[in-house]
Amino acid sequence: MTLLSACLIIKNEEKWLDQCLNSLSDAVDEIIIVDTGSTDKSKEIAEKYNCKIFDFTWTGSFSAARNYAIEQAQGEWIISIDADETLINGIDLPAYLRNIPLNVGGVLIERENLYTDFLIGKSQVEVRSNLRIFRNNKKIRWNRNVHEHVSFSIRESGFEITSSPFKILHHLNELNEDEFIRKQKNYLSILENDTQAANKLYNLFFKAQTYHILKDRGKARIILDELLDLKPSGNLLFLSLSQFAIICLELQDLLAAREKLALSIDLFPEQSFGYFLLSQILFRENKFEEALSLENKWILSGEKVKEREVLEGDLYLAKEQAAEFKGICYLRSAQLEKAIEELKEGLTGKPQASGCYLRSAQVHFMSGNFKESISCAERAIELNPGWKEASEFLKKIQRINSL
């Protein structure tokens, strides 16, 4: 009996495909590859893993290609994954699926986006809940041409959705700036060409999100205003309010950010996203203790969340991100010992956490330990060579230390 099928759509993915398929090899019973026109060695790589390969003429819809892949799958369950992603701890996935209640049709996992913020030159991480595992049921299909989703059809088929301990890594950080911008503009083009009325609200949201990614915050905010005037509901309302609050926060409009967060938290009290954004507002208002008091409302990556209803698209904090934020709160409130304690914990969990190294450098600088400060700043730059803030801080310490 085939338990789990992995479904991928690809086109010229030789750069990524091998690491993706290798991550699936101990977890799935079959791998379905739908190729939309590769001219590189993608198919040769897929053949090494005994994938079932099908050609599909691109129609301008990611959902159409994904649904074609599902139709070829024999497994009871589907995991949908992209070539530039890798599955973490997949070896435990079959046993997990064998014990899922019959009323559950979809499984949320953590998707950890690794990307570069080219404006500040820093590698970043963003973890969100994402629905990628679902039953192979004829009623469950992907919708929308781009930024496609499957959760609506799962619920419409009478199934429930649950969370899980599994994670996918998305390797956006290996794209250069031109490739990254080209990818986002391609998404915008697909969104602009989608005239289906049923997709209008979600398309507005993803247009706003894409303009935000491209740093056009003004345009993103105008689109979100238009979307909220159309009264979205459910998960889309949650995502829209969160996106609006982020943009307002970046534009230093703390009043508007607070207004949207208050509404979001009132409507979706189970979330993590809004509470962390509220912590950031409090930090900017120099209310460090209040910012830290919301810690118990954040969901950390890898944390069990069965006790709380999980929102698709909710933000989880990587543990080193939480440690960095707490560390800088303690630093700004002159609690240097607590700051170092938090930052050490972050580095224990992830020794490559450049943010924790830079904040440690700042704490040591405040303590007058310039040698240790320089060492930590150098380590932050070594891990994140393009990070402007770290480079500028190192120059500052070296200049002062040379006096």
Tell me what pLDDT residue 200 has: 93
Q: Which of 106-115, 200-209, 305-314 is the least confident region?
A: 305-314
> What 3-state class would DSSP assign to 78?
strand
Measured CA to CA, the distance from residue 324 to residue 126 in angstroms comes to 14
Tell me what pLDDT residue 309 has: 55
Measured CA to CA, the distance from residue 205 to residue 236 in angstroms comes to 8
Measured CA to CA, the distance from residue 325 to residue 278 in angstroms comes to 13
pLDDT exceeds cutoff 80 at 121: no
pLDDT exceeds cutoff 90 at 117: no
Tell me what pLDDT residue 311 has: 77
pLDDT tens sequence across 289-348: 999 999 989 988 776 554 445 678 888 888 999 999 999 999 999 999 999 999 999 999
Measured CA to CA, the distance from residue 115 to residue 185 in angstroms comes to 17
Tell me what pLDDT residue 310 has: 62
**Mean pLDDT, all residues of the chain:** 93
Domains and CATH numbers, the chain: 4-174 (3.90.550.10), 195-317 (1.25.40.10), 334-401 (1.25.40.10)
Q: Which of 39-43, 70-74, 271-275 is the least confident region?
A: 271-275
Residues 6+ apart with CB under 8 A from 61: 145, 146
pLDDT tens sequence across 47-68: 999 999 999 999 999 999 999 9
**In sequence order, what are the beta bridge partners of 134?**
78, 106
C-alpha closest to that of 361 among 386, 385, 335, 336: 336
**For the chain, what percent of residues have pLDDT higher than 70?**
98
**For the chain, what percent of residues have pLDDT higher than 90?**
83
Neighbours of 307 (CB within 10 A): 6
Residues 6+ apart with CB under 8 A from 269: none
